[in-house]
């Protein structure tokens, strides 16, 4: 099988942008509905289609017909004949929910339990859509704001005292006395499970204090923005509890299982294990499952490592410890062609700017790629060349 074009589904979640994905794909902009995510992969919820012999065929069907040819022997054996990653363009015009993803054991248990309970996969109260974990990496294409992991407890206590919700005085005092994972778990669990009227009082008091100190302080400014969108939602305290991060274009960060996070705004490339499992805790009209979220969370201070691409096997790849995926960026500058490795497995690529020509050295087939073009490069393609001037992001398996 040769290099093929992909046609990818778009998820029109409410927080999406009306312009980012249409402009990437060269489609009319603004779109009628918000376009949040472009999915490149074989997830059963929304699989890509592959152009094969002039026909568009579902990617899972194509892989099932020739798993070793598409995936490569090693990947086909290791991941049971399935594409192990899901590649996305994410366009957040509004904040996403505060959320975390389960590890493999938690995902399998939760998926089996909800199946046994007879909850349909498409039901709005379904938390586990599959039996897989979802480590992920996000790389900014535009300035990208996010919250990622619990900040240092010392910082958290200071910030909580700054916004001083009187309603939380006792709990803040207890956290101040127990600045460790157990104390953090107790504080956060109390915050998330208190009744809604008390949560609203806490948020109102915190927002009033944040308004007084917001000028030039992004933590308090984001609190106010979140309260405008979700007034009284306990997630409004997120910037005080979690690390607030701004990624510049080309920078990335990795998120492991159990890490509380929320994407706040911007356009990015996202690559993850092939899963759609999300446990939400706030800032969303979607299903919130606080007990399940508290079960899977890692209650630990978390530093955020900002990642830049490093040379790995001829590519500029973003470091991560994920088994299912590796994200690389290819900057084709017109001076010399990019030559792929010969020992490689399946790859999915998308062009985010410029124009280039991708040539299968074996068959001689050449495809023209421009902004928005995405390709499947089967493992059976021994080596390929890319010439021109373009930027491409590539998903592969380490």
| DSSP, residue by residue, 18-43 | SSHHHHHHT--SS-SS-B-EEEES--
Give the pairing of strands 279-282 and 261-273.
unpaired
Q: Which CATH class is domain 9-48+58-66+87-147+247-296?
A: mainly beta
Q: At 68, is the secondary structure helix, strand, or coil?
A: helix
Q: pLDDT tens-digit profile of 181-228?
A: 999 999 999 999 999 999 999 999 999 999 987 778 999 999 999 999
Stretches where the chain sits below pLDDT 70 are none
Parts of the chain belonging to CATH 2.60.120.10: 9-48+58-66+87-147+247-296
Cα 284 to Cα 226, 233, 395: the distances in Å are: 11, 9, 29
Per-residue pLDDT at 292:
95
d(CA 334, CA 232): 53
Q: What are the residue numbers of the active site?
A: 280
Q: How many CA atoms lie within 13 A of 398 on its CB side?
A: 14
- The overall longest dimension of the chain from CA atoms, in Å, is 71
Task: Indicate whether this model's pTM tops 0.75.
Answer: yes
d(CA 221, CA 92): 18
Q: 285-297 as b/e, with b when 16 or more CB fall inside 10 Å?
A: eeebbeebbbebb
User: Tokens in use for 252?
Assistant: 């990335």
Per-residue pLDDT at 185:
97
116 burial via Cβ count (<10 Å: 0-12, 13-18, 19+): exposed
d(CA 239, CA 264): 10
Per-residue pLDDT at 212:
87
Per-residue pLDDT at 358:
98
Q: 298-337 as b/e, with b when 16 or more CB fall inside 10 Å?
A: bbebbebeebebeeeeebbbbbbebebbbbbbbebeeeee
Is the previous residue joined to 30 through a cis bond, with omega within 30 degrees of 0? yes
């Amino acid at each position: 099988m040769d290099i093929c074009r992909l046609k990818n589904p778009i998820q029109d979640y409410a927080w999406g942008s009306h312009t980012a994905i249409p402009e990437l794909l060269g489609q009319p902009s603004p779109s009628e509905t918000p376009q949040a995510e472009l999915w490149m992969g074989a997830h059963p919820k929304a699989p890509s289609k592959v152009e094969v012999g002039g026909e568009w065929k579902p990617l899972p069907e194509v892989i099932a017909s020739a798993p070793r040819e598409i995936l490569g022997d090693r990947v086909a054996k290791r991941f049971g004949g399935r594409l192990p990653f899901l590649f996305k363009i994410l366009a957040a015009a509004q904040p996403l929910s505060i959320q975390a993803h389960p590890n493999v054991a938690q995902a399998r248990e939760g998926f089996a339990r909800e199946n046994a309970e007879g909850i349909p996969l498409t039901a709005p109260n379904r938390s586990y859509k599959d039996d897989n974990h979802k480590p992920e990496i996000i790389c900014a294409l535009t300035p990208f704001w996010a919250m990622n992991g619990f900040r240092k407890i010392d910082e958290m206590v200071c910030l909580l005292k700054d916004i001083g919700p009187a309603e939380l005085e006792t709990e803040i005092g207890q956290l101040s006395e127990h600045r460790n994972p157990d104390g953090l778990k107790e504080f956060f669990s109390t915050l998330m499970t208190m009744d809604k009227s008390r949560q609203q009082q806490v948020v109102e008091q915190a927002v009033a204090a944040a308004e007084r100190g917001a000028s030039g302080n992004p933590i308090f400014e984001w609190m106010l923005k979140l309260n405008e969108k979700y007034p009284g939602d306990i997630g409004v305290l997120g910037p005080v509890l979690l690390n607030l991060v701004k990624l510049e274009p080309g920078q990335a960060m990795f998120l492991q299982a159990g890490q509380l996070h929320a994407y706040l705004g911007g356009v990015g490339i996202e690559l993850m294990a092939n899963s759609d499992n999300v446990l939400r805790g706030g800032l969303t009209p979607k299903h919130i499952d606080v007990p399940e979220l508290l079960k899977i969370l890692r209650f630990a201070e978390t530093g955020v490592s900002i990642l830049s691409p490093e040379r790995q096997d001829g590519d500029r790849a973003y470091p991560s410890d994920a088994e299912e995926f590796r994200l690389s960026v290819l900057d084709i500058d017109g001076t010399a062609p990019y030559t792929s490795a010969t020992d490689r497995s399946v790859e999915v690529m998308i062009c985010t700017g410029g124009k280039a020509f991708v040539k299968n050295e074996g068959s001689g087939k050449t495809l023209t790629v421009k902004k928005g073009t995405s390709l499947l490069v089967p493992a059976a393609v021994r080596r390929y060349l890319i010439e021109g001037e373009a930027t491409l992001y590539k998903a592969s398996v380490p």
